[in-house]
Structure 1
Amino acid sequence: MSHIVIISGSPTPGSRLNGLIDHVESKSAEKGIKISHIRVSELPAEALLHANFKDEQILAALALVESASGVVIASPVYKASFTGILKAFLDLLPQTGLKGKVTLPLFIGGTIAHLLALDYALKPVLSVLGSRNILGGVYAIDQWIERRDGGGFELSEELQERLDRSVEELSEEINWLEIRSKDTAVNS
């Protein structure tokens, strides 16, 4: 079974970013993909900031990334880049921690003006971590996601369609990598 880990770099539990994450999770589950979560803001702050590789929660989070076929990296955009807590977590990954994994970036910001944060802030970091299969990603603006009165989020139709296409691409790429991996193992 394919496995993805969703890494949320939001420092705010009620962030609209959760609307994107919930949608991706739901669509991935429909495809039979196993999903794990890392909410970086819930990791021990001291261990995260001091790069304590012996901390049990940090080790567990790193193991989730290692075991996944795909990684969804989600963050709000602050000051034209992803959050500092997300960067602190990515700094803990081994140099090739994303090698052989499909990566899907999801960003949300206040305006469309920060759209290029995906390409100029996040993708170089993912590349340095060994990711060679970085999908185009989805950038959303706050006004495309409404908070529901009873909880949860309502996404604009266009945003839902873009997320659906991204999940489809993520699933296809993971399947392709898994088939290729099996073929390589058989031929070895």
Structure 2
Amino acid sequence: MTVTVVVGNPKPGSRTRAAGELLAEQLTGAAPDHVIELIDLGPGLLGWGDEAVAAAMKTVQASSLVVFASPTFKATYTGLLKLFLDQFAGGTGLLDVVAVPLMLGAGPTHAMAPDLTLKPVLAELGGTCALPGLYLLDSGFTDDPTLSRYVERWTPVAHALMAM
């Protein structure tokens, strides 16, 4: 079982990254095998065929579970994450990957964003999106009972899907 966190925050070492790693660890019982900070891929995301982007894509495609983590910008995920996801083939790019959408925001007004904006794209790319998206407040996600309730409810489902 390989677990990866893809971080769509334009700031490296962000709370988004910390939340993605925490969610991956709590769902699987171990730290993620890979963390991909998309900002590190830089201008390579703007075209096709960049070697670093291709390597990041292969890492994602070889993973059993991937947490796609993004801050909420204008009620949706970041353009940085969009540029990365655009590199994958529709319908098959995330085939056999359990894809978990995670978004952080400053307030509760965009709590539906992971399910309404990010999850459909992950599903369109062929990801297994059986778990609902998770939205956490960025100011206190480590103590948010939403995270522990999510993990308690969805860990058995994540494990069952990864075993398939």
**TM bucket, shorter chain:** 0.7 to 0.9
Closer/same/farther in 2, CA of residues 34 and 123 from structure 1, 3 Å limit: closer
Alpha carbon RMSD of aligned pairs, Å?
2.1
Q: Does 1:59 align with 2:54?
A: yes
Q: 2: CA distance between counterparts of 1:34 and 1:15?
A: 16
Q: Where do 1:20-31 residues align within 5 Å?
A: 20-27=19-26, 30=29
Q: CA offset at residue 13 of structure 1?
A: 2.0
Deviation (angstroms), 1:127:
1.8
Whole-angstrom distance in 2 between the partners of 1:8 and 1:83:
10
Correspondence 1:162 to 2:136:
no
Gaps of 5+ in 1: 146-154, 178-188
- Aligned residues of 2:24 and 2:67 also touching (Cα < 8 A): no
> Which aligned pairs between 1:55-94 and structure 2 lie closer than 5 A?
55-94=50-89
Q: Determine if contact 2:70/2:103 at 8 Å carries over to the other structure.
A: yes
> How far, CA to CA, are the matches of 1:17 and 1:168 in structure 2?
24
Partners of 1:122 and 1:68 in 2: CA distance: 19
Deviation at 1:69, TM superposition (A): 1.6
- Give the C-alpha shift of residue 87 in structure 1: 0.2
Q: Secondary structure at the match of 1:47?
A: helix
**Identity across aligned pairs (percent)?**
32
Which of 172, 177, 187 is 2:160 aligned to?
172
Which has more radius of gyration? Answer: 1
Aligned residues: 162
TM-superposed CA distance for 1:80, in Å, is: 0.3
Q: How far apart are the structure 2 equivalents of 1:39 and 1:111?
A: 24
Question: What SS does the aligned partner of 1:64 have?
Answer: helix
Unaligned runs of 5+ in 2: none
1:143 aligned residue: 139
